[in-house]
Amino acid sequence: MWRRYLFWFAHEHNDFRHAEIQSILSIFDIPIKYIEKPCAKKPYWIVELPSEESVKKIASRSVLIKNCIELWSSTKSVSQLHRNLKDALLNTNQEWIVKTDPDKGVGEHICPNTLIEACCSANKSFKIEVETFCKHFTMKEKVEKIEAFSYLPLNGPVRLKDPDVTLAYLEYYGVDPNNVPEEPYEVFFGRWVADGQRDLIQYHSLKRRQFIGNTSMDAQLALIMANQARVVSGDLVLDPFVGSGSLLVAAAHFGGYVWGSDIDFMMLHARTRPTRVGQKARTKEESIRGNMRQYGTESLYLDAVVSDFSLPMWKPGMQFDAIITDPPYGVREPTEKIGIERENYTLSEEHLVNHIPSKVEYGLPQLYDDLLEFAANHLKTGKRLVCWYPMVREEECHSLQFPQHPRMALVSASEQPLSRATCRRLLTYEKLTTHTDTRPLPHNAPHNFREKYFALGEITRREKKERKAEEKARAEFYKSKNGVT
């Protein structure tokens, strides 16, 4: 039976909510009805779903949802909320009814009494929790708010730890901390059903991760990426710009078998300068495998290999269930590929043995064309590529055009601001059909993102220092290998 639920979100990454929840709905094939059009500014959605089981499934994956509540009432004032709940106690219909106020002409939605009754038996312990958004209340004030619900026929004992039923009361005071109203804009009451996966963000935090690099992906965004890529148990997942492997950690958490590749030998072998402030040298435990071991997912780690993405090493028939990646933008790491600018260059026999190939600029338009073409060839039909895409915000207003490919449908493009002038978008594509060899379509990739980023004065002194030291360490490493660069 369809019921009404409140999804209460964390107030961050608002632009990612829709894409994350839609992806999770499609993983479990759950239909949804929006009772109120989701608004990115408000931290809640009111929806209808076919079963409590489906709510629990959504919550089992979402990192943006804080909690899901079976809604008994939502309205504009505290006194109206109490009137609605009292009316609900008399609503013996199985359905919600709409009660119109003759003076105001507005309809109040009254839930069926069966929802409340189900929580009232003498053997069901309960507690009521109060959450207020954008306004702080003391414990005493919160207790007063709880006592205002004393008319509810809750016959069981109060139990604060692990009760059978948790009832939730929420007051929403808007999103502007400088303009908080006396009374809330919206109030909600209902039965708590499930928490989202916010705890995972702490569990996977980079602060406690064994091996991290300068560009390791924040735990929350990595988990959102794995959700948008719809990674499920047994999937084969690739990150072709793997770095320290943070996206593999997230994909493996949801049961994916993970592969990575990266052009940077130093990064893959944890020989770059330590990223943590105060750490002098890398430890032996620092590696992608070490990270997987830390989270108990080593058995899902296939491997990571040194490889230039512009020269993919995979057999044509190799098929992945998901590709999730954060390509280089040329800001904190260079965008390079193997190559040489000199024409007709040959290597003598003597130099061949220790040869370390030189690199040339790997322009972003070419890189994203290669990525979409690779995904079109190596993803199974219906499977997803999820990748970040850097943008200069000013240009974005003029021409919002993302990389395109005739066999890859763009599903979402959520924005994360990086600075005043730049942002990146998390692009999610779905592979449409197989057996065509059409090349990527032209697009306005920010081929000079790096120059624009620096021209806009976005680099910090710390980044400059880090980069200089990194270049020095790299040069020393190559020197020690007697390599020709």
Give Rg (Cα) of the chain.
27
Contact 327, 388 (CB under 8 A): yes
The window from 4-12, 71-79, 210-218, 403-411 that contacts ligand SAM (CB under 6 A) reads: 210-218
Minimum CB distance to ligand SAM smaller for 184 or for 327: 327
CA gap 8, 186 in Å, rounded: 13
Which one-letter DSSP state was computed for residue 32?
Answer: -
Per-residue HEC secondary structure of 342-371 comes to: CCCCCCCHHHHCCECCCEEECCHHHHHHHH
The window from 155-163, 215-223, 379-387, 473-481 that contacts ligand SAM (CB under 6 A) reads: 215-223
Strands annotated E in 264-367: 301-306, 320-325, 336-338, 359-361
Closest CA to 36 of 185, 183, 136, 179: 185
The single residue among 20, 235, 286, 308 that binds ligand SAM, judged by CB under 6 A, is: 308
The single residue among 65, 187, 217, 426 that binds ligand SAM, judged by CB under 6 A, is: 217
Minimum CB distance to ligand SAM smaller for 337 or for 425: 337
The window from 51-59, 181-189, 241-249, 403-411 that contacts ligand SAM (CB under 6 A) reads: 241-249
- Residue ranges in 377-406 that form contacts with ligand SAM under rule CB under 6 A: none
Q: What is the smallest separation between the CB atom of 216 and ligand SAM, expressed in angstroms?
A: 4
113 binds ligand SAM (CB under 6 A): no
CA gap 75, 97 in Å, rounded: 14
Question: How many alpha carbons lie under 13 Å from residue 331 in its C-beta half-sphere?
Answer: 25
Looking only at the bridges linking them, the beta strands covering 3-9 and 257-262 are unpaired
The two tokens of residue 165 are: 């039923």
The window from 25-33, 68-76, 302-310, 372-380 that contacts ligand SAM (CB under 6 A) reads: 302-310
Q: Hey, is 319 helix, strand or coil?
A: coil
The window from 45-53, 57-65, 212-220, 404-412 that contacts ligand SAM (CB under 6 A) reads: 212-220
Q: What is the smallest separation between the CB atom of 26 and ligand SAM, expressed in angstroms?
A: 24
Q: What is the smallest separation between the CB atom of 484 and ligand SAM, expressed in angstroms?
A: 19
Q: Residue 305: what are its φ and ψ, rounded to 5°? A: -125, 155
The two tokens of residue 380 are: 């199974």
Minimum CB distance to ligand SAM smaller for 134 or for 247: 247
Minimum CB distance to ligand SAM smaller for 197 or for 272: 272
How many residues belong to the chain?
Answer: 485
Minimum CB distance to ligand SAM smaller for 75 or for 272: 272
**Range 156-194 burial, b when 16+ CB lie within 10 A, else e:** beeeeeebebbbbbbbbbbeeeeeeeeebebbbbbbbbb
Contact 222, 243 (CB under 8 A): no
Contact 111, 99 (CB under 8 A): no
Q: What is the number of the residue whose Cβ is closest to ligand SAM? A: 243
How many amino acids of this chain bind ligand SAM (CB under 6 A)?
A: 24
CA gap 361, 364 in Å, rounded: 9
Minimum CB distance to ligand SAM smaller for 184 or for 243: 243
The single residue among 67, 75, 216, 291 that binds ligand SAM, judged by CB under 6 A, is: 216
The single residue among 243, 363, 403, 440 that binds ligand SAM, judged by CB under 6 A, is: 243
- Residue ranges in 254-273 that form contacts with ligand SAM under rule CB under 6 A: 262-264, 267
Tell me the torsion sign for CA atoms 298, 262, 404, 418.
positive
Residues 314-353 vs ligand SAM: string with x where CB under 6 A? ------------xxx----x-xxx----------------
The single residue among 67, 246, 287, 297 that binds ligand SAM, judged by CB under 6 A, is: 246
Q: For the chain, count helices (H), then strands (E).
A: 15, 18
The single residue among 184, 190, 196, 213 that binds ligand SAM, judged by CB under 6 A, is: 213
Q: What is the smallest separation between the CB atom of 338 and ligand SAM, expressed in angstroms?
A: 7
The single residue among 215, 275, 404, 444 that binds ligand SAM, judged by CB under 6 A, is: 215
Q: What is the smallest separation between the CB atom of 426 and ligand SAM, expressed in angstroms?
A: 13
Q: Which residues bind ligand SAM (CB under 6 A)?
A: 213, 215-217, 241, 243-244, 246-247, 262-264, 267, 308-310, 326-328, 333, 335-337, 362
